[in-house]
């Protein structure tokens, strides 16, 4: 039995012959990494003024991958306290073809400690296009309807139930990649609000 011959489409044949595509991708990835590095320094300065030192012991961590839903990603975690049940983290993410985002992720004791501040932040969060995670899986990052809901589309009581009854809380703000020039300021602004919520 002869194996099926593997063929390329016309578009695939064109792309596989074009080294500029990968070289440009690599250049963009290097610039994203540089941006995340600059953000890490500025985040440390903000968090150093507002957070307890126990949350600052782990240095910022930058990571990358090639296949979240088929697309490359890069991220920065700071602060980053990941225990078996207790989580306190702010994640800045670049997801190719989608967005830059900054996400507050709380679980366990850190979620309980921040509940009142989260409740008090409802009106600000609902006025500024934040999303809240409604999924049961804390490790999904897309903004699809199965994963996140705009806080402005929730009633206060529904919002309180989500942050109180789920075993984790994730709140995210995102900006399109076409807004590259505004991304750093956007991400720092929302990072600082998240720090004030958890301080």
Tell whether the model's pLDDT for residue 2 goes beyond 80.
no
pLDDT (0 to 100) of residue 114 = 95
Q: Which residue blocks in the chain are alpha helix, DSSP H?
A: 10-16, 19-50, 109-120, 122-127, 156-165, 180-198
How many beta carbons lie within 10 A of that of residue 70, not counting itself?
A: 8
pLDDT, tens digit (0-9, with 9 covering 90-100), for 161-183: 999 999 999 999 999 999 999 99
Confidence bin at 3 (pLDDT 50/70/90) = confident
pLDDT, tens digit (0-9, with 9 covering 90-100), for 24-51: 999 999 999 999 999 999 999 999 998 8
Tokens encoding 107: 């679980």
Cis peptide before 89, with omega less than 30 degrees from 0?
A: no
Tell whether the model's pLDDT for residue 11 goes beyond 90.
yes
pLDDT, tens digit (0-9, with 9 covering 90-100), for 96-145: 999 999 999 999 999 999 999 999 999 999 998 999 999 999 999 999 99
Tell whether the model's pLDDT for residue 58 goes beyond 70.
yes
For the domain spanning 10-198, the CATH number is 3.30.930
How many beta carbons lie within 10 A of that of residue 69, not counting itself?
A: 12
- Cα 57 to Cα 37, 85, 94, distances in angstroms: 17, 19, 24
Confidence bin at 1 (pLDDT 50/70/90) = low
* Stated length of the chain: 199
- Of 55, 86, 103, 77, nearest to 167 by C-alpha is 86
Confidence bin at 56 (pLDDT 50/70/90) = confident
């Amino acid at each position: 039995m002869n194996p099926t011959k593997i063929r390329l489409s016309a578009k695939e044949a064109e792309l596989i012959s074009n080294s500029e595509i990968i070289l440009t991708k690599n250049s963009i990835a290097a610039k994203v990494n540089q941006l995340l590095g600059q953000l890490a320094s500025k985040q440390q300065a903000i968090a150093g003024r507002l957070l307890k030192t126990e949350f600052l012991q782990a240095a910022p961590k930058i990571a990358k991958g090639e296949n979240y839903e088929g697309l490359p990603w890069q991220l920065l975690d700071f602060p980053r306290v990941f225990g078996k049940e207790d989580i306190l983290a702010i994640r800045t993410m670049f997801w190719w073809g989608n967005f830059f985002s900054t996400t507050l992720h709380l679980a366990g004791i850190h979620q309980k400690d921040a509940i009142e501040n989260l409740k008090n932040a409802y009106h600000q969060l609902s006025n500024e296009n934040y999303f809240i995670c409604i999924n049961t899986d804390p490790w999904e990052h897309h903004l699809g309807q199965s994963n996140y809901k705009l806080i402005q589309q929730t009633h206060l009581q529904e919002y309180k139930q989500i942050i109180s009854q789920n075993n984790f809380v994730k709140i995210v703000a995102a900006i399109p990649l076409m807004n590259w020039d505004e991304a750093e300021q956007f991400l720092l602004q929302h990072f600082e609000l998240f720090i004030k919520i958890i301080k």
